[in-house]
Structure 1
């Protein structure tokens, strides 16, 4: 949205009563025709603005889109999300992130958040399709981490903690983390994360952390097969959630833990992850590229691997794979 439209919106938000186009034009030093143009621009972005020839303009309802303007009003971070790229529709936010990283100085876009109202070709962990309809929160964060390569996985841990904590604090819903990177409410998935990085030897060029959260998505939008395993915040609460407030909270929760990782506070992150895990102390089935086996999830080690105690008492360390609770 153009800066001029933001300025008109700020005036409408401040005003307790209808405000005339002439008053707005005088305050901004533009023509009434320009004000009218910006009012129409705001309407296309989802803001409900009534107009009366006698009284002027009134903002009656904010946009329900996940606009950077709405998120920034509630954002309390140092650097995560200070820069945002917004798209109404895109194949995937991670694709946009890769393009940004290929085009410019990654240090300058560190912390940039890419938001899409919908993804038409979203990709999750292990290349699976990521269904991303309107109403969800579909974002990618561009990061230039100063973290050893063997601890990069902790970025995903920090993201998982951030989503679960934000849902708990903002909505009072008991979200938990399912290894390796899903967020569950009860026995159904409500969110997932994925991490891609560009690195060589011991140098990480950049990371792209993607979040997918079924916020205001009717469960009926999903296929009957998915409906058995997936829920949404809307379905759990019985009403829509304020996506801008929730995203602002997630970004704040993530930043605080990201900074802990950069300062070497690894054990703090691991212990918090354990405290809100729904996987540990449960019987699980693990499917890797090589085999399938069952056992009890007893721990997670300093490198993010899940430790499984098999029925024969042996311990198996799982670095990557699918984990199914039994």
Structure 2
């Protein structure tokens, strides 16, 4: 374990300041080495308070290298984790890794250019869970749509089990709490002929970050706002990845699981597509991943992608 990670682990577990001398003795390095390391950590954004009593870490909401490695050791689909204090978008590094045939997870504390569907921006301030999964498993191209449904279900189930909140999924790629958006999924793929070369699955979850109200399709919410307190993110990350791997191995159950958690099905909705805007009742998701919409004239419309707005029933 690197010196920086050793110091962070000690400070994260401490409930009072620790002197540089004590840290040096615990880790068996010089006080100068401790001081230099503290400067590096501060420059990386860690809020370390320095006083006569020693060093104290004010914000302990971050991941340690050994915590992430412990999760990684229990996974089958991924071999490495890249953890960044700040980045443009986790999707960018994920794409580089995918081209190198890496089976990786990319996690960032903050994204400067987080993105959602249709080139929209996604607020990605510190305190949220921002990650991209680099999936290299062979998958027929016709089944690629399942990855968005799989990811939504994994997020919803992880939120439910970790925090006891009732999370629902909204077509095509959102997760809701109390009718407000808590998470979104972004899928990018590279394919050759009829098979996937790789898939990048971007997942953004509002956890302890503040959510700015914006005039998008649906208001946002964070988990901490729903619970009225800050929460630990590590259990959420762990549960999310385990649900993803478990359900990935049972592809025939993905749509069934999604439907059981759906806030969209049986609802009166408006769907905006490149073809036009359609209003009706969301009846089902078919075997090819299309939303089946019963229009006001009782005809059936199959929609593969679009923006879905839940309307109030009269």
Gap runs ≥5 in structure 2: none
Residue 312 of structure 1, CA deviation: 2.9
TM-score scaled by length of structure 2: 0.85
For 1:100, the equivalent position in structure 2 comes to 97
Question: Would you say 1:137 and 2:129 are equivalent positions?
Answer: yes
Residue 128 of structure 1, CA deviation: 1.8
Compare 20-29 and 234-243 and name the one that shifted more.
Answer: 20-29
Superposed, 1:149-298 pairs within 5 Å as: 149-219=141-211, 221-223=212-214, 225-226=215-216, 229-258=219-248, 260=249, 265-298=250-283
1:117 pairs, out of 109, 114, 126, with: 109
Gap runs ≥5 in structure 1: none
For 1:147, the equivalent position in structure 2 comes to 139
- State the alpha-carbon separation in 1 of the partners of residues 31 and 290 from structure 2: 62
SS in structure 1 opposite 2:138?
coil
Cα RMSD between the aligned structures? 3.0
Question: How many residue pairs are counted as aligned between the two chains?
Answer: 310
- State the alpha-carbon separation in 2 of the partners of residues 139 and 272 from structure 1: 23
Residue 313 of structure 1, CA deviation: 2.7
- State the alpha-carbon separation in 2 of the partners of residues 84 and 280 from structure 1: 36
- State the alpha-carbon separation in 1 of the partners of residues 77 and 40 from structure 2: 28
1:312 pairs, out of 289, 297, 308, with: 297
- State the alpha-carbon separation in 1 of the partners of residues 293 and 237 from structure 2: 34
Superposed, 1:73-88 pairs within 5 Å as: 77-79=74-76, 83-88=80-85
CA contact (8 A) 2:187 2:202 kept: yes
For 2:62, the equivalent position in structure 1 comes to 65
Over residues 216-260 of structure 1, what are the superposed CA-to-partner deviations in whole Å (9 max), with x where a residue is unaligned? 2223x344x3596211112211112212222222122212222x1
